[in-house]
Structure 1
Amino acid sequence: MCIPGQVASRAALVIRNYSTNHSFFLELSDYFLVTKQSTFPFPFGTKGSEDILSQVLAVANNTNIPHEIQRLACRHCVVVGSGYRMKNSSLGDIIDKYDIVIRLNDAPVHKYEEDVGSKTTLRFFYPESAFFDQVLDSNPDTLLVLVPFKNLDIQWLKKVLNNETRVNKGFWMRTPLIWKVKSENIRILNPYFMEFAATKLLQYVVRKGKINTKPTTGFMAISFAIHFCDMVHIAGFGYPRFDDTQPIHYYDNRSMAILRRSSHKFPAEAIAIRRLLQQNIIQNLTYF
């Protein structure tokens, strides 16, 4: 049973400086008559990106929470991870019953509905992971939430929204050159949730707005959910230990071996997620 305020009340007891008094998405009004500028650049702030953000938000200027979500007496959410343990899980029908279904990056829905469901309320992504099928893997009203790791991510969004010439220089892998979405479905995540995930949940040390290791998109979605939702369940998170042959995702054959080249600290995130589970702030639909 979903209890209003349940996650917030539990999180406030155990997470230092936890607060729900933050906007979820960046808004155009944030950049008019600014009296308090951001301290850091992306990913922990917007310093130095104000002008281009104003241009992007002038196009994607619908930053409201959809009415269907606002009217909910209690927000019952599930964050669907991309992990291999979703394969043959048969969780599709269960996932589709949640009020809010949050998906990650380019994880497909089409042809995997039996295991991962078909409903998508929000999809968290960054430019290099924006290769999901916008028709088959989303619903017409799905919110596409950009998680900005760098100023270049905002520049990419500006170019695709304005149909300007795209370039892939500066990205760690290629980005979509054709990306046609409804501008009213676009949101830009408030960098507060990146800072919260890194410093409060993962306990990383940020020096002068910089950090060597950044949270994954999945962990960012959990950070967001424990502020946005009244009840949070997760599925498809966690990796098997010491098995480089194990597939990472439910939808492809890439193995655990490639994680050794990743800049993310997966063991640290696993510890943080396990802590949230033990504190009963979130609950798990799959094993962890």
Structure 2
Amino acid sequence: MKPTHKLIFILCMVLVLASIIYSCKKLHFHIWVQKTQHDAEETAVVLTQPKGAEVNRITVYDEQGFLLELDTKLPPELAYKYGNLSDEVCKPGYAAAKMASIYHKFRKVMPMFLDQNFKRLEKVNNYLPPFGFKTQEKVIEYILSATKHYRLRQELESLSCKRCIIVGNGGILFNKSLGSRIDGYDVVVRLNEAPVSGYSKDVGTKTTMRITYPEGAIQNTENYEKDSLFVFSAFKPLDFKWLRQMVFKEKVKGTEGFWKSVARRVPRDASEIRILNPYFIQEAAFQFIGLPFNNGLMGKGNIPTLGTVAITMALHNCDEVAVAGFGYNLNMPNAPLHYYEGVKMSAIKESWTHNIPKEKEFLRKLVKAKVITDLTNGI
């Protein structure tokens, strides 16, 4: 090839290569501009959303993982299953299915009570009470060896569909005449020392279980209902020591760590005593309500009320869930706090452990989405 031809060939190759490089750079710049514009649009959207929301879910979920827009309509898959059933017919799996439709992280399978396999419960075995049972394994094993029963009574366990009601202690129950309606539920859950005798017109007579802790347990043994389960909920390690004394009918010793006097005797056979799964306290506090984690320890404002814990338990173990006697109206400080005593609503403001406004916000989500039914319309 002649030198001139060789030079022309090289120049052509250089021009072609330069053209390719220029085209690539221009294309890359165009793509980069488009991506920058797209990122800017996404950022603008994020700025209009609640703090902490994820980009691909910002218009759907709140910080706790609940749907932002809640309504009473059933999702298509649930409407097909439950839409044609009347209110009088128990809807199998309804509460859990409806809960999962508004809270995508919800998983139904979680046992109501601790049994002999309790150490396998990964979500609670690394936490101290009240959010788990760490350091209390031996005493729990000892207690369970005596109780020997870890479920509801057989006639309830055999039901294909269970309707449960959690009866709160709120003053809103007074003069509502809901007694017969409450007694119509398969499982009636009561809390702490709230009495039935003398208030049956408003609160009913039936008690399937009574959930409590040492300071909240009924102290007058004559006030215990017959045939109800005594369900223990621990909030501190000392509580398990107290339960052991109740189960084995021991003399109560070492009461210095309780914040008020405790029951000296529980008139129940060991077979009628259960230990509530502490997972429900953990889930209610950190997942549903969004209380301070505090390294997994009890702290100021991070303990849910026992009522909300009971509702959480029911969502996992009941097909339909109702409540009555719930709802603290802090705008009415002189209203009765409980239906059975004269303590005023203003007393709840002194609570160190609970966050009532945040808890009420969570319960309102459940009522608004018809996950639960509120008979007294206090939530």
TM-score range, shorter chain: over 0.9
Match of 1:82 among 169, 174, 177: 169
Determine whether 1:124 maps to 2:211.
Answer: yes
Determine whether 1:148 maps to 2:213.
Answer: no
Alignment coverage as a number of residue pairs: 285
- Counterpart CA distance in 1 for 2:249 and 2:320 is 39
* 8 Å Cα contact 1:245-1:257 kept in structure 2: yes
Change (3 A) 1:270 1:39: same
Percent of aligned positions with the same letter in both sequences?
Answer: 35
* 8 Å Cα contact 1:26-1:188 kept in structure 2: yes
* 8 Å Cα contact 2:219-2:265 kept in structure 1: no
**Which aligned pairs between 1:1-288 and structure 2 lie closer than 5 A?**
1-30=89-118, 38-131=125-218, 136-140=223-227, 142-166=228-252, 167-212=254-299, 213-263=302-352, 264-288=354-378
3-state DSSP of counterpart to 2:259: coil
Compute the displacement of 1:92 (Å). 0.5
Change (3 A) 1:287 1:64: closer
Q: For residue 279 of structure 1, what is the amino acid of its counterpart? A: A
Compute the displacement of 1:163 (Å). 2.6
Moved over 4 A (4+): 34-37, 132-137
Q: For residue 240 of structure 1, what is the amino acid of its counterpart? A: N
Compute the displacement of 1:259 (Å). 1.2
* 8 Å Cα contact 2:219-2:264 kept in structure 1: no
Q: Which of the pair is proportionally richer in helix? A: 2
Q: Which has the higher contact order (CA 8 A, sep 6+)?
A: 1
Q: What TM-score results when the alignment is normalised by the length of structure 2?
A: 0.72
| Unmatched segments (≥5 aa) in structure 1 | none
Choose 1 or 2 for highest CA Rg.
2
3-state DSSP of counterpart to 2:130: coil
* Residue range with higher mean Cα deviation, 172-181 or 159-168: 159-168
Backbone CA RMSD of aligned residues: 1.8
Post-superposition Cα deviations, 1:220-263, rounded to whole Å, max 9, x if no partner, equal 11111111111111111002232322110100001122212212
Q: What TM-score results when the alignment is normalised by the length of structure 1?
A: 0.93
Q: What is aligned with 2:20?
A: none
- Counterpart CA distance in 2 for 1:12 and 1:109 is 34
| Unmatched segments (≥5 aa) in structure 2 | 1-88
- Counterpart CA distance in 2 for 1:134 and 1:61 is 23
- Counterpart CA distance in 1 for 2:127 and 2:314 is 23
* 8 Å Cα contact 2:219-2:262 kept in structure 1: no
